[in-house]
Each structure stands twice: as structure tokens, then as C-alpha cells.
Amino acid sequence: MAETKREIERKYEATGDAELPDLGRVPGVASVADDGVMDLDAVYYDTPDLRLAADGLTLRRRTGGSDAGWHVKFPVAVGIRDEIRAPLSDTLPDALAGLLRSRVRDAEVVPAVHLHSSRDVRRLLAADGTLLAELSVDTVHAERLPDGGEASWTEIEVELADGTDDETILDAIGKRLKKAGIAPSTSPSKLARALEETGAAPRPRPTPGKPGTAGAAVLAYVCEQAAAIVALDPAVRRDLPDAVHQLRVACRRMRSAFKTYRKVLDRHVTDPVGDELKWLAGELGVARDQEVLDARLRARVADLPPALTLGPVEARLRRRDAALARNARHQALAALDSARYLTLLDTLDALLADPPLRKAARRDARPVLARAVRKDHARLGRRIEHALSLSPGHERDLALHEARKAAKRARYAADAARPTLGKPAKRLSKRIKAVQSLLGEHQDSVVARAALREFGIMAHGVGESAFTWGLLYGREEAAADAAERELPGLWARAAAPKLTAALTP
């Protein structure tokens, strides 16, 4: 069974002419306990081309100390990493292998660096004996595998106590170390330093396209979404909040970019990739749609006075939510474990390594991107006008849903152009986002009404009161009507001619 630990730490250079200061004088520290010296032995694993190290991840098998076992570390922010641990075994546990699948894929994971550390640990305690932080002086010897390049150094590592995220004590310790002439380390991890000092650091990925061209601008955005898909894969597997939604958004953004910028990237190459992105988003969508519906229905029920909640309303919601959530998560993980998904990731790598650039890709980015954004904006306008011309009902609901999808595409087009077009693209994106959100509220109401109707039929069929379900249905109808009344004014703000005129170079 794997467990997760949030690691908040700071690293410092330990040089021969600087002595460790009196840590008992750090504000908030009442005493310092010396735990003595322990020996740690770790082998770090990676693909032969160092894919994990290139993304700032570490995979190690460590013996010695209190946390012997397999460890995978994911960067969260500067100085913050999530460490997922599994018990010591001869081979990489499946629970950790899955978390690395989007990076490793079918490649072999092999020993990359052998690290031996002699660790001198001091625990910094509060007056009541509570652990505040641990400071360790690590004397490290690294050996690059398999060629045998070696390096040695000494570093100081200060780690916040488990269960807290208040870095005040780390700031105070840092000030004491600075006064003692001890500087922060320039390496984010021991592995990164070992690879750098043995001349084996992973090479930075090249930026595709000629700078300043439409091709470079669009490919930079596509690269960003491809990296997000790979990075969010383990977050989905770990069931982190909003991970499914964010991975879905990355798929949609890339697919949208392929459609918007067809003058830049050859659609004969990108259309099949877009189809696969649609498949992946669809597999993930079951989980995400269930999350949204669950939250909406629970909130609606919570808003009702107890006197209007008749029958086992909350119990029915819980039973349905639990069953659907299990199935949705199973479907999402099955997609991420499929050969089809790995093929998609490999295809994206191949596309970025040899992008299918068209003639427009060589032109200056500003006019090409501005023209594409204006085109998607106009397309959104036509969808909204068509929807509003229809009478309220099913056909209008469908048309508004299509308008919502057009709003996403127009917004994503503006977002992709922001590095090139600047504030005008940002302002347009903000206005379109408001329209998209309102249309999303309308569509959520449509989906909620369908679910509420099912609940009402079910309740009636078993002799329960269907009153509450009907009441909630009526409230959802009112919410949809309010959104439809608000839409013309909100679209008028997003359709202001000056917004799109400002995109012109």
C-alpha cells in the first residue's frame, strides 16, 4: 500500500569554512535534539533518456533510515514535493509504476544514480516538545550508473515537520544560516546535483518553430497542453481534487487549437489526433460530469427548508452518487491504462518533434493569430443568435449547448494568442469566459433536470413522495430561464466591436 507525504524543505550549501549556527536561538525553538548519524543508501531509477529527471521527478529505492522503501517524488512548488512511498521490494511496485506511466510508457526503468549519504540529524522542538522542523547535514557520495562518473558534496537540508504548512520556522532558520555564511543550494534535489556534477543532466527540450512566427506561437501552446496531460495523469490516478477536470481541459484546449489554427497546422495530421483527444476527454468526462451533478444536486437539497424535503431524498442521492462515482473512476483509470492512451501520448511527441506546419506558420504571428481569434469570435456570435431566435424548449437547449462549445473554442483561441497579442486577447478571453460560464450554468440545469426527473419517477414507482424532486425540477427550470434572460446583455458586452478591433496589430 502506497502512502503520501507532503515534503516542504529547503536546501543549503555546506562549505568547509562555514559552521552550523546555534539552532536553539531560532525564534520559536526551545530545544534541539541530536539524533546522531545514520547511513542512507539509495539507487535512483529513470529511463535511459532521463525522462523523469527532465520533469523534476525522482524515483528511488532506499535502504537505511526510518523510511526505507520505494519513493516517488512529484514537484508541487519550489521547495515543496509530494513523496509517495511503498514498502521495500526487489521490483518497482505497481502502485508507483502507474504514477509514472505517462512519462515512462513502454520504456525500461533502469538504475541511473547510486547515492550514499551520511546524515547527521537535529530535531528542532517547541517548548511543549512539538517537532517544528528537522535539520540534517548530509555528506553525499554519488556514482553515475552505469558509466561510473562520481561526485561528492555536503549539503544542509531543513524540512518542515509533517502535518503543517506554515513555513515561518523555515524562514527563521534560513536567516540564521544566512548570517552564518551558509547559502541556499542551486540544485532542487540530490539527484539533480548528481546528474549535473557527473555531466549527465537531461537536456532541455527544444522549442519548436522559428521565434516570432505563427508556427512557434501555436506550437508553444500545444506543447503546454501536451505537458499538462502528461503531468496531470498521476494526479488523476491519485484522485487529487479537480485533476480529472484539468486533464479534460488540457485535451479540449489542444483539440480546439488544432481546429482554430488550421491555417498553421495541417488538419490532415491534427484531425486524427483531435479525435483521440476527444475520446480521452469523453472517457474522463463521465467522472467529471458526475462530480458536477453531485455537487449541484446536493447544494440544491441543502438549500431547501426541512419541511420541503419529503422522503429519503439525501439517502437516494448518496446511493446513486456512490455507485456512479465508482463506475466513473473505473472508466477513467481504464482509459489511462490502455494501449490507446499510450499511443496518443507517443503521437503527440511525434507531432511536436516534427510539426505539420503549413505556409502560414512561417508568417508573423500577430496577424495570423488575430485573424483566427476573430473568426472563432464571429462563429460564437452566430451560434448565440441562432439559439436566441428559437422558442424556449428542447431545441433551444441544444442550440445553447452548441453555443457553449463555441464559447470554449473562442476563449481558448484568445488564450492561445495572449502571449502574442497581449492585453486585447486577455480582455476578450475574460468577456467570453463570462458568456461561457452562463451557458455552462444553463447546460448544468438541463442535465440536472433530466436527473431529477429520473429521481421523481423512481420515487413514485416505489410509493415515495415525488414532491421534493418536482420542486427541485421547478427551481432548475427557473435557473435556466434566468440564464437565458441574462445572455443577450452578457453577449453584447463580449461582442463589442472594439474588443476584436484591438486584436489587429
Give me the sign of the Cα torsion angle 336, 339, 340, 342: positive
Q: To 10 degrees, what angle do helices 243-260 and 267-303 make?
A: 140
196 touches 142 (CB < 8 A): no
DSSP state of 375: H
Burial class of residue 91 (count of CB atoms within 10 Å of its CB; 0-12, 13-18, 19+): exposed
E strand or H helix at 17, and its extent?
Answer: none
With beta carbons less than 8 A apart as the criterion, state whether 112 and 144 touch. yes
Per-residue confidence (pLDDT) for residue 19, from 0 to 100: 85
Intervals of the chain under pLDDT 50: none
Alpha-carbon separation of residue 114 from 34, 125, 329 (angstroms): 27, 33, 38
Do the beta carbons of residue 23 and residue 125 sit within 8 Å?
no
Per-residue pLDDT of 168-180, as tens digits, reads: 999 999 999 999 9
pLDDT tens across 420-435, in order? 999 999 999 999 999 9
At 459, the amino acid letter reads A
Give the number of other CB atoms < 10 A from CB of residue 376. 23
Nearest to 487 by CA among 440, 451, 446: 440
Q: Which cell goes with 72?
A: 516517488
> What is the bridge-based pairing of β-strands 3-13 and 31-46?
unpaired
Cell 548570517 identifies what position? 179
**Tens of pLDDT, residues 61-116:** 999 877 889 999 999 999 999 999 999 999 999 999 999 999 999 999 999 999 99
Largest Cα–Cα distance of the chain, in whole Å? 83
Per-residue pLDDT of 372-408, as tens digits, reads 999 999 999 999 999 999 999 999 999 999 999 999 9
Residue pair 1/70 in contact (Cβ under 8 Å)? The answer is: no
Per-residue pLDDT, 285: 84
pLDDT in the model for residue 505: 66
Q: Label residue 146 left, alpha or beta by phi (over 0 means left) and psi (-120 to 50 means alpha).
A: alpha
Q: Closest by alpha carbon to 374, among 409, 331, 405?
A: 409
pLDDT at 209: 73
Q: What is the pLDDT of residue 143?
A: 95
Cβ 124 vs Cβ 173: under 8 Å: yes
3-class SS letters over 431-487: HHHHHHHHHHHHHHHHHHHHHHHHHHHHHHHCCCCCHHHHHHHHHHHHHHHHHHHHH
